[in-house]
Amino acid sequence: MTTATFSEFVATAEAREQIAANALKYTQMLCEALEQNFVQTSIKRAEFMMPSSDNPKYWEARIADYKAGKDVYKYSIDTGRKYHKIVQTCCDGSKSVHAFVDKNTGELYKAASWKAPAKGVRFDLRIISQREHVLENCDWAGGYLYK
């Protein structure tokens, strides 16, 4: 059995720190993508409703509000002992958990409750192809997290 040298230990610790920093960065990127998805989806829904509405000015105002960032869902990170919790805040101030990201590995989990992720990794944000897929296909309602 070989004994790890001090320099190997330091290199390993630095690698772990870099992975943890990247996990936070990817979680922030996901929050931004989720907010953008909510705005885009809301605008599309308003544009769909406008032609058949008795009050198209209402939908025009809604679209302007969405573009200005009013009445949109916000996503934030609540970092715990093991996970980065992605918290969705609605327009009325109510909150729910959207997903969890493992702080040390960057693995993305669907939320089972406010405090815990569901079993089974949905995506690994360290893997470029999976991260790109998540950022391109995430939706504010969390449908991309279902197997």
Residue 147 lies inside a defined structural domain of this protein: no
- Chain centroid offset of residue 140 CA: 8
Structure confidence by residue, pLDDT tens digits, 108-144: 999 999 999 999 999 999 999 999 999 999 999 999 9
The whole-number pLDDT of residue 147 equals 78
Type of residue at 143: G
The whole-number pLDDT of residue 23 equals 96
Type of residue at 78: D
Task: Tell me the two tokens of residue 60.
Answer: 């025009």
CB 100, CB 126: distance < 8 Å: no
Residue 125 lies inside a defined structural domain of this protein: yes
Residue 106 lies inside a defined structural domain of this protein: yes
**For residues 70-93, average pLDDT:** 96
Strands 74-79 and 95-102: what pairing?
unpaired
- As a whole-number percent, the residues of the chain with pLDDT over 70 amount to 93
Residue 14 lies inside a defined structural domain of this protein: yes
How many domains, the chain?
1
Residue 94 lies inside a defined structural domain of this protein: yes
Count of CB atoms situated within 10 Å of the CB of 88: 22
Domain span at 98: 7-138
Residue 146 lies inside a defined structural domain of this protein: no
The whole-number pLDDT of residue 3 equals 64
Residue 103 lies inside a defined structural domain of this protein: yes
Virtual CA dihedral for 64, 65, 69, 75, nearest 10 degrees? -130
Angle between helices 128-137 and 6-49 (to 10 degrees): 20
pLDDT band with cut points at 50, 70 and 90 for residue 98: very high
Residue 2 lies inside a defined structural domain of this protein: no
CA distance 40 to 86: 20
